[in-house]
Chain A
Amino acid sequence: MNYKNIIPALMITGAIAVMTPSCSSKVPDATVKTNAEAVVTPGVTVEVKDGVVTLSGNVNNDADKASAETAVKNLDKKSGVKSVVNNIAVTPPPPPPPASVTTTLDAATQQKVMDGIKDIKGVTVTFTADKAVLTGEVSKADRMKIMQMLAAAKVKSDVSQLMDKK
């Protein structure tokens, strides 16, 4: 092989090798930040120093934390990302509000309560804005039924005037 041909070839290769990192280091941190922010989910904060991307903030689970990191790492070389530090915190979402109570007693719910006590003698029900108020005298067994029925209908109750049958 002719050395004259190899030397320029080596020079070109060397030039490329030198140029590549210098090219990416030229991407301003602000641009890197914009590039990274475009691919992470809301709630994740991006900070960049010398091409090193630090992720922080809060996500709901480990999968979201990992996918944010992967998304930034998968950006192409031109984006200027050198490496990723993943400081995202995983905070599970708060539990949904309890489903076991109806706050406003609509007509349908009131009907359910009245349907339920229809066959229980000696008990009457009236309704306040958010409670069924029961009055009368009941046996222990019927009291249990009433409470179960109210729970099923998701209705808060006031049974202070519901007396035990003697």
Chain B
Amino acid sequence: MSLQDKYASLLDAAKNMGVANLSVAEQGGALHVSGTANSTADYDALWNMYSQIDPNMASGDLMMNIDIKADAGASLKVTTDSTNLNIRSVPSTEGEIVGKAAHNEVVTLVEKTDDSWWKIRTAAGEEGYAYAQYLSPM
């Protein structure tokens, strides 16, 4: 079974959701899927499908590089488990902590520095880099 068949329902769902710039390519034994989902809900739905199709996502045969549409100025919710999210001077945990955003606090996107680190600004005016995994576009 080809990987496109294995992940057919996920690929169909991505198309139906209108994932922008959707690109699907099979290379080096893995299916590479990239694009921009319209919402955090769409993103979560795609990841849930992935974990259902490939239990524990352990096969290593899908590289799902989907991000979520968010332009500068967008509101982001801090989605840590319960703790504060560190805001740092540079996009790395090596960076000095220049501020903190509370769990569930809403902050503003300044720029998507890269796929792992985004520059944000809190309501209190603290500005710096936070790990994108803990920020959900609203």
The answer on A and B forming one complex is yes
Chain B residues within 8 Å of chain A by Cβ, number: 32
B34 within 8 A of A: yes
**Considering the complex, which residues of chain A in the window 87-133 have a beta carbon less than 8 Å from any beta carbon of chain B?**
95, 97-101, 111-112, 114-116, 118-119
A152 within 8 A of B: yes
Q: Interface 1/0s, chain A 6-28, versus B by CB < 8 A? A: 00000000000000000000000
Q: When the two chains form their complex, are residues B60 and A97 in contact, meaning their CB atoms are under 8 A apart?
A: no
Q: Given the complex of chains A and B, what is the CA–CA distance between A125 and B79 in angstroms?
A: 23
Main secondary structure of the interface of B (DSSP, over half): mixed
Contact of B115 among A144, A153, A157 (CB under 8 A): A153
**Considering the complex, which residues of chain B in the window 22-68 have a beta carbon less than 8 Å from any beta carbon of chain A?**
23, 25, 27-28, 30, 32-34, 47, 50-51, 56-58, 60, 63-67
Q: When the two chains form their complex, are residues B56 and A116 in contact, meaning their CB atoms are under 8 A apart?
A: no
Q: Which residues of B contact A111 (CB under 8 A)?
A: 92-94
Q: Which residues of B contact A154 (CB under 8 A)?
A: 63, 65, 115
Chain A residues within 8 Å of chain B by Cβ, number: 31
Q: When the two chains form their complex, are residues A98 and B63 in contact, meaning their CB atoms are under 8 A apart?
A: yes
B9 within 8 A of A: no
Q: When the two chains form their complex, are residues B65 and A100 in contact, meaning their CB atoms are under 8 A apart?
A: yes
Interface residues of A (CB under 8 A from B): 95, 97-101, 111-112, 114-116, 118-119, 140, 143-145, 147-149, 151-154, 156-160, 162, 164
